[in-house]
Amino acid sequence: MSLKVVILAAGKGSRMKSAMPKVLHRIADKPMVEHVVDAAAALGAQSTVLVVGHGADLVRSAMQDRVEYVVQKEQLGTGHAVEQALPKLDATDTVLVAYGDVPLTRPETLQKLISDVTDSNLALLTVLLDDPNGYGRIVRDETGNVVGIVEQKDASDEQLNIREINTGILAARASVLSELLGRIDNNNAQQEYYLPDIFKLAVQQGMTVSTHHPEFEWETVGVNSRAQLAELERVHQRNQAEDLMAAGITLRDPDRIDIRGELVVGTDSVIDINCVFEGKVTLGENVTVGPNCHISNSTVASGTVIKPNTVIEDSVVGENCTLGPFARLRPGAALRKSAHIGNFVEIKKATIGRGSKVNHLSYVGDSTVGENVNIGAGTITCNYDGANKHQTVIEDGVFIGSCSQLIAPVKVEKNAVVGAGSTITRTVAENQLAFTRAPLKTVDNWPRPVKKPKSE
C-alpha cells in the first residue's frame, strides 16, 4: 500500500486582501503550500495531489512539477474538493488530506495518523482549544468514541461548549474515502459538502475513528489574514532559533533572527541581532556574525568575523577572514584564508588571496588577487568598457596605493608597487614601481570665492 497526499489549495482567501492565491503567501520566504508539500515528501509520499481553484495558474507556476494537479472549478466545500482528487488515487492507497494554508504541521505528527489507518479505521487530527469559536466540534459518545463532527453554524448550545475541535487533517484508505464522499450531502447552513461529515457516516457503518493531538498547537493553525501569517512566521523563526541554540550556537536574541532557507552552523558560533539568512548558508565553527548582516547562498569557514551591516551573496569565505563593517560580497566573490575586507568595500566575481587586504572604500570586480596583497583606500578595478567585462590580475605581494584605477584588462606582477592616485593601463612588471602623476601647479594669493548675500 502506498501513501498519497491530497492538499486542498483552491480557496481565494478574501481576508488576505490580495490578488495572489492565499497558499502562495510566504513563511520563511517559501509559499505556505510548499511547506506542506515538503512535509509530504518527508513522509515518503508516492505522489502529492494539489487541488487548485482560484489562481490555479499561479499555483502551478510556483510549484511546477513537484505535484499533480486537479481543479475544483466550483467552490462547493471541502468534501467536494477531495472528491476531485479521487481519480488520482488507487483504492488501496492510504490517503492523507492536508491544507495548503496550514503550513507548520510536523511530519512526525502526520505519521501518527498514517500509521493508524486500516480498512475499517479512519484517523483524525484534533486539538483542544481554550477558545474553540469558529471550529467544528468533535462529538463523542458516553464511552469517548468519536461519533461525528458538527460545524459551528450547525451546532447546538451544548455542542458549542465542546473544546476539542477538528483540524481537518485526516487519513483514510482511498476506497473508504471514495465510498463515504459519495454519500455526504449539502443539507447544512452553508449548503456545502463538508468533508467532516464522512466521520458520522463511517461510525454508522461500524467503522472506528482514532484521534491524535499534535504536540504543539501551532501545528494546526491555518492562515486567513496577514496578521495570522505574521504570527506563524514568528513561530517558525523561533522554532529554528531553538534548534540552533540546542546545537551549540549563541543567538544574542533568538526573537531577532530570520532564516529563509537552510542554515547550517558550526558549534560556538555567535549570531547577533537582526541577521537574515536566505537560501543555503553554511557557517563554520567559531564564526561571529555582527548585527544587521544579510547572508544568502554562501559558505563561511571557521573563525571568520563578519562585522555589522555586511552583505554576502553567492560567495565563499575562507577561514579566519574579517569582513566589514558595511562590506559587500557580490556573487562570485571568494576570499582565501585570513583575507580582510573592510568598510564600504565591494567585491564582485573576484578571488582575494590568502592574507590579502582590501580595507577601505574600494571596488574589486572580475579580478584575481594573489596572496599578501594590500589594496589601498579608494582603489577601483575598472572592469567594464561599456559593453564587456575584463579581467584584472594582481599577483602576490603587490601594494596598490590609495585612489588608484586599474583599467582592465591589466596585470600587476609580483611584489610591484602602484603609487597612490595612479591610473594603470598596462602591465606593471615584477618588483616595479608604477605611478602616474600630473605636475603640481600652484597659484599664489588665490582669491577664494565669497558667498553672495541673499537678495531682499
Give the residue numbers marked as catalytic: 360
CB count, 10 Å around CB of 187? 9
